[in-house]
């Protein structure tokens, strides 16, 4: 009988210690996607971009706002600006290369691939067009902070 009581006490202590240890362990929050705009693009990844400036729209066919972003960016196409859609289903490797974790992401880059402006998430046509104009001709926009990576709205 004494052995049974000792065994029962050991089990109770072990369970109590296990519960205390479990409560002390911090549970990490689920990983959240990053809405980061790349700072640099390799222009070789976008051979269809033959102009001095490129607007790259990272998108997905399952994204409800991506089609709108692609349409707004498409209006910018000219002899100076190429617009390239990088849809996840067709170009998953480029999404991984640039660590695109959420879409839409819009990057405005020069001939060297330096990203001058960028947007994460939905963007108005006015803000996108003004940011591209200011990237190409600094000071041409009344809101030159539009599309800057450290701008709170991006």
Q: How far apart, in whole angstroms, are the C-alpha atoms of residue 8 and residue 58?
A: 61
The answer to whether the predicted template modeling score (pTM) of the entire model surpasses 0.85 is no
Q: How far apart, in whole angstroms, are the C-alpha atoms of residue 53 and residue 69?
A: 18
Q: Strands 105-109, 115-120: parallel, antiparallel or unpaired by DSSP? A: antiparallel
Task: Show the tokens assigned to 72.
Answer: 């707004």
Q: How far apart, in whole angstroms, are the C-alpha atoms of residue 62 and residue 103?
A: 10
Residue 61 pLDDT greater than 70, yes or no:
yes
Q: State the pLDDT at residue 20.
A: 74
Could you report the per-residue pLDDT of 81-123, keeping only the tens digit for each?
999 999 999 988 999 999 998 899 999 999 999 999 999 999 9
Share of the chain above pLDDT 70, in %: 82
Map tokens 């990053």 to a residue: 34
- For the chain, domains (ranges, CATH) are 43-136 (3.40.30.10)
């Amino acid at each position: 009988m004494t052995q049974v009581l000792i065994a029962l006490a050991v089990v109770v202590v072990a369970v109590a210690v296990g519960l205390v240890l479990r409560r002390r362990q911090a549970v990490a929050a689920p990983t959240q996607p990053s809405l980061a705009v790349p700072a640099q693009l390799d222009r070789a990844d976008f051979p269809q971009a033959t102009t001095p400036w490129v607007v790259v729209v990272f998108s997905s066919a399952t994204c409800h706002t991506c089609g709108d972003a692609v349409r707004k960016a498409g209006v910018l196409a000219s002899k100076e600006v190429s617009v390239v859609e990088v849809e996840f289903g067709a170009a998953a490797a480029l999404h991984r290369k640039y660590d695109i974790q959420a879409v839409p992401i819009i990057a405005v880059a020069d001939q060297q691939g330096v990203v001058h402006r960028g947007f994460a998430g939905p963007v108005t046509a006015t803000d996108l067009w003004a940011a591209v104009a200011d990237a190409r001709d600094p000071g041409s926009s009344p809101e030159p902070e539009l599309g800057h990576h450290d701008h709170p709205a991006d």
